[in-house]
């Protein structure tokens, strides 16, 4: 991990859903890039391991517990982050859940839960943070979409949420660009995480078998890992990405429409 910049020059980043998987990898990468990182997850205790990993490597991080779909909780979380780490100017909306089922079996609760975390959560977090970005004249918003935004059997709720995030991203780019704020989406393909392992279990498959089946359809002939997504987000959060906005980057091992 690179040495952290002087506090006066260090930027504060928030990564939601950062206790494990893609979020954890992104938090660690942004810390390595020199950001002070708020590791936000539903339970503060769950985020502490990632914080400890970052601080042991010489970085700066803070564990924050919040439900991103709760407006009051989001406001309190951002206030805490601003007080303890500084005004956040990088936001990675990664928090997400799945409630997969075929449409005729999907409950309204399953629909609402997924849309609330992905879409409402990203909206609330972005609305709360954008003022800090516009005041600073610099901001980076990165929303986690998915190849499922293109449609995926058994994921009507998840696909709708991820497609919605793409429209949300493009609108943010139009509204906030003149203030020095960019907004982009990263759409992962099959990534090896606890979430995809749980998918294999629901399908009654061994995880290795699911990965082999997925890799057979991927041009680079392998499934992704969280660091693949973290590398892409590192670039989009950087100074060098200032002329990239309103884009959806498919990190999926091959072309997507």
The active-site residue out of 111, 123, 158, 250 is 158
Distance from C-alpha of 245 to C-alpha of 239, rounded to nearest angstrom: 12
The residue count for the chain: 257
Q: Within its chain, how far is the Cα of 38 from the centroid?
A: 13
Q: Within its chain, how far is the Cα of 136 from the centroid?
A: 22
Distance from C-alpha of 13 to C-alpha of 77, rounded to nearest angstrom: 13
Q: Which long-range contacts (CB under 8 A, 24 or more apart) does 173-178 make?
A: 173/245, 173/246, 174/246, 176/130, 176/133, 176/134, 176/139, 176/141, 177/245, 177/246
What separation in angstroms does the CA of 173 have from each of 64, 90, 138? 27, 14, 13
Q: Contact, 15 vs 26, CB < 8 A?
A: yes
Q: Is 49 a catalytic residue?
A: no
How many C-beta atoms lie closer than 10 Å to residue 167's C-beta? 12
Q: Torsion over CA of 146, 149, 152 and 158, rounded to 10 degrees?
A: 80
Catalytic residues: 158
């Amino acid at each position: 991990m690179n040495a952290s910049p002087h506090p006066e020059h260090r930027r504060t980043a928030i990564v939601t859903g950062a206790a494990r998987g893609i979020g954890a990898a992104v938090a660690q990468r942004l810390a390595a890039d020199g950001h002070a990182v708020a590791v936000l997850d539903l339970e503060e205790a769950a985020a502490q391991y990632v914080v400890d990993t970052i601080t042991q490597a010489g970085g700066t991080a803070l564990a924050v517990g919040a439900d991103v779909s709760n407006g009051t909780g989001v406001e309190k979380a951002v206030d805490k982050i601003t007080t303890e780490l500084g005004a956040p100017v990088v936001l990675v909306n990664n928090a997400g859940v799945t409630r997969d089922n075929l449409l005729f079996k999907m409950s309204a609760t399953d629909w609402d839960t997924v849309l609330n975390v992905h879409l409402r959560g990203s909206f609330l977090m972005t609305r709360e943070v954008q003022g800090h970005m516009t005041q600073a004249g610099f901001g980076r918003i990165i929303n986690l979409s998915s190849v499922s935004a293109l449609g995926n059997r058994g994921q009507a709720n998840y696909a709708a949420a991820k497609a919605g995030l793409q429209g949300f991203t493009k609108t943010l780019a139009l509204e906030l660009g003149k203030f020095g704020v960019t907004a982009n989406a990263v759409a992962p393909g099959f990534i090896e995480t606890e979430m995809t392992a749980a998918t294999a279990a629901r399908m009654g498959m061994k995880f290795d078998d699911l990965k082999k089946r997925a890799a057979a359809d991927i041009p680079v002939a392998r499934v992704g890992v969280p660091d693949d997504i973290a590398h892409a987000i590192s670039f989009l959060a950087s100074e060098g990405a200032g002329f990239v906005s309103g884009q959806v980057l498919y990190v999926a091992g091959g072309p997507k429409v």
